[in-house]
A and B are shown apart, each in its own frame.
Chain A
């Protein structure tokens, strides 16, 4: 075209242009706290989800011999306790332990009795968690003396065990799975419902808004516990119920926040411009309203995740959430706090995981909010 007025103002340099997303990413990368937190979150997630595959103890495995043992980096059983345990095991078989010796990870024991000893006695020796693979090495005195060899079963409990003798670390990992999944999934449910509902209510406005918001208020005024108990009564106790119950409550607040944002957004001129262009209501909500609510929504999400994790633990504590032997961080912390004085590690380790995760989530949320603000350059 020849009759074009010359572009007097210099256009920005050519090229693909920096999308807000790429700028946000670059800005997020500059935020050291957020990056560190992301790494920590990834680490916690890997530990919780991949850990159980490589860790030798299952979360519901009970070690009767190690009930409530404190955390230790050296293996159980401790050498000096072995003889006592062996004596106890042998006495249960009504024989006498005359000699007991541990060399490395194997032991040999010499048993004596007035009558010949039944070989099935080895079964008694394998019963404690400390010993394994008892075999009769030799017999003497017509079977009245028996030498038994076997291996000492060494177990590591880096975070100790609980009151039922279950490995705390294995339980923390499985609890982390539950807590993270519940936290993220329930938040996601709340996010989707809340954003769509809030944006629609705020944008359409008028009577529709009135009805939609009154509904939110009615649900809000319903006592949460009553609601959960109702759900349990009707649908029975199920894991998915936790998502449903928490998601159904948490979206209310999200909807309110998004509605507030939408009310101010809908007076912005670009929304009016879209209207003048003839876009349908749903297209305006989808293309112009929802993307611009992202800042506050992201921040709210990072607050919501820990809130949901706490709610889940509350439900589990009341017996409405996850059931033993399954567990979650909230449940573990509740148990730990009950045994705080006798075995403080039961409280400390789950709390450390929980707190670190929450801190990291908050830092990531802060970082995301700053990074996603299009005005802040």
Chain B
């Protein structure tokens, strides 16, 4: 480290809320050197984003920052808006997590890149456009001359994030603050974006402050790391040191939070519970009276699988590969075609009423624990709702007793069953969602990315819980995920999907140790590359 670009000392951030002040960041010291990549790691709520928001003067209206953040010889905290605008966007820039929403859909990409150039560097419209093309080339967007005139909706998620980076780089900033820039992207795209950032850093001598919860990225990408927890920096140091000899127990916990262990395979003679043969799901876009024939999109294209009792099949693939659609088709929750058998019943043509008697055996757990629980029902009501349908003879007291049992089984305090979802954390909500499925004593559970919206340490707990429940009740899981580490820890058998088709399948170890298909290898490299490199 030579000289320091950004020097944060004793930074506090407080939010005024009706129920009192929330002290989000409590005296943080962070320094970013020239040409250095500093990672700030922490779980959600650790204050890592708010620290950088305070530096950029982007705190919400009720937020207040005190302390010091020096950029060069300029103090950023408490700077008036006009002054801070001179620095941000030109010398300090920021990219955000959600590339889908951080571009204005009404303007072309070129105009959005040109805007800061015209504003900060005083370029003319034509010069700005030329520079925009140059920048798009720099971030490796194909055909930049054509792309400069496209609108955000014409670009993929990865391309949009590249555009965001191009915008951030437009005025040759000294420091780029990246707030979880790859979290919303598929693993292969994520790897490309990280590569791009590393390349840009090498070429332009940029400093990067990288906010993330993903230790794999930190290990691969950063020089130094700060670990934050509940608004404080608990540990800092060089990446190699932190990963080799973590001192703080929280850091150790984070490092160990990677899901580990393998699942015991089910007995070989286990009966087939759920079987799908040549399942197709087609979505029709547009069309209708006068609009002509609709466009057909084959989301799932001729997939077959057989799920045995006690078995877990992991389905992996990038977004849009049809893995979630397949899961729902097997539960007859969308308009899939193909033969689907549950136990000895052909359920491929069962109607709503016909499916009802099987529903309790076939349960589903969703990705987003915030969206999957109705905000106007208590945890107890949510958990027991299925009983109203499938065991209508139960009295309210019986249902309450079952709710207590179910909540205890998923490791939640049953006393909290009269509380509403918003009073629970993400991990607790996911436990409620699991309890809702388990109370019906199902045989098959489709788990649709049940851990992706959760922090690593919570993920591990949920994985342990799922494994425990499976052993106890002999459940069969269909585990849908893009997270290979979690899939590996839970599955017996893996199916790799791409564009609605299964490209490769086989026992977990075989897939991980000797992937045959190029696509599978690519996925592995992107997701687990960090570990291989380290």
Contacts and interface: CB of A to CB of B under 8 A. Distances in A.
A18 B385 contact: no
A12 B424 contact: yes
B27 interface: no
Contacts of A17: 378, 416-420, 423
Nearest to A14: B415
A18 B416 CA distance: 10
B366 A273 contact: yes
B436 A272 contact: no
B346 interface: no
A278 B458 CA distance: 30
A16 B458 CA distance: 26
A42 interface: no
A283 B381 CA distance: 14
Q: Which of A11, A19, A287 is the most central at the interface, judged by chain B CB atoms within 10 Å of its CB?
A: A11
Nearest to A377: B422
Given A17-B378, A273-B436, A279 B409 contact: no
Given A3-B472, A287-B385, A291-B376, A14 B416 contact: yes
A80 interface: no
B408 A1 contact: yes
Contact of A292 (B366, B374, B461): B374
Contact of A268 (B18, B371, B390, B425): B371
A1 B419 contact: no
Contact of B374 (A11, A19, A276, A288): A288
Contacts of A16: 418
A217 to B, nearest CB: 16
Given A9-B427, A11-B415, A276 B363 contact: yes
Nearest to A8: B461
Contacts of B235: none
B390 to A, nearest CB: 7
A6 interface: yes
Contacts of A292: 374-376
Interface in B361-410: 362-364, 366-368, 371-378, 385-386, 388-390, 408-409
Given A9-B428, A374-B422, A276 B362 contact: yes
Nearest to A5: B411
B413 interface: yes
Contact of A270 (B372, B386, B415, B422): B372
A3 B373 CA distance: 27
Interface residues of B, number: 54
A277 interface: yes
A7 B412 contact: yes
Contacts of B468: 3, 5
A19 B366 contact: no
Contacts of A14: 413, 415-416
B525 interface: no
A32 interface: no
Given A6-B411, A269-B371, A277 B386 contact: yes
A110 B386 CA distance: 93
Contacts of A291: 374, 376-377
A117 to B, nearest CB: 81
A5 B331 CA distance: 29
Given A4-B411, A12-B424, A277 B375 contact: no
A7 B458 CA distance: 11
Contacts of A374: 375-376, 420, 422
B416 A270 contact: no
A272 B333 contact: yes
A276 to B, nearest CB: 4
Interface string A271-298: 0111111111101000110011010000
A170 B359 CA distance: 64
A5 B433 contact: no
A143 to B, nearest CB: 86
Interface string B182-209: 0000000000000000000000000000
A325 interface: no
Nearest to B467: A5
Q: Which of A4, A5, A9, A270 is the most central at the interface, judged by chain B CB atoms within 10 Å of its CB?
A: A270
Contacts of B247: none
A11 B435 CA distance: 15
A20 interface: yes
B179 to A, nearest CB: 22
B493 interface: no
Given A5-B468, A17-B378, A11 B372 contact: no
Interface string A288-328: 10011010000000000000000000000000000000000
B375 A20 contact: yes
B356 interface: yes
A278 B331 CA distance: 11
Contacts of A276: 331, 333, 359, 362-364
Nearest to B431: A9
A58 interface: no
A292 B421 CA distance: 14
A11 B428 contact: yes
A112 to B, nearest CB: 82
B333 A1 contact: no
Given A5-B465, A7-B411, A272 B423 contact: no
Contacts of B385: 274, 277, 279, 287
Contacts of A279: 385, 388-389
Contacts of B417: 17
Interface string A351-377: 000000000000000000000001101
Nearest to A11: B413
Contact of A4 (B368, B386, B408, B424): B408
A7 to B, nearest CB: 4
Contacts of B376: 20, 291-292, 294, 374
A214 interface: no
B420 A1 contact: no
Interface string B450-472: 00000000100100110010001
A277 to B, nearest CB: 4
Contacts of B390: 278
Contacts of A18: 419-420, 423
Contacts of B416: 11-12, 14, 17
B502 interface: no
A277 B359 contact: yes
A70 to B, nearest CB: 49
Nearest to B471: A3
B355 interface: yes
A109 B356 CA distance: 94
7 contacts: A5-B464, A12-B416, A17-B416, A273-B366, A274-B385, A278-B389, A374-B420
Given A1-B408, A268-B372, A276-B331, 5 more contacts: A11-B415, A16-B418, A272-B366, A276-B364, A280-B389
A-B interface, 6 closest residue pairs, ranked by CB to CB distance from nearest: A278-B359, A11-B413, A17-B419, A269-B372, A17-B418, A14-B415
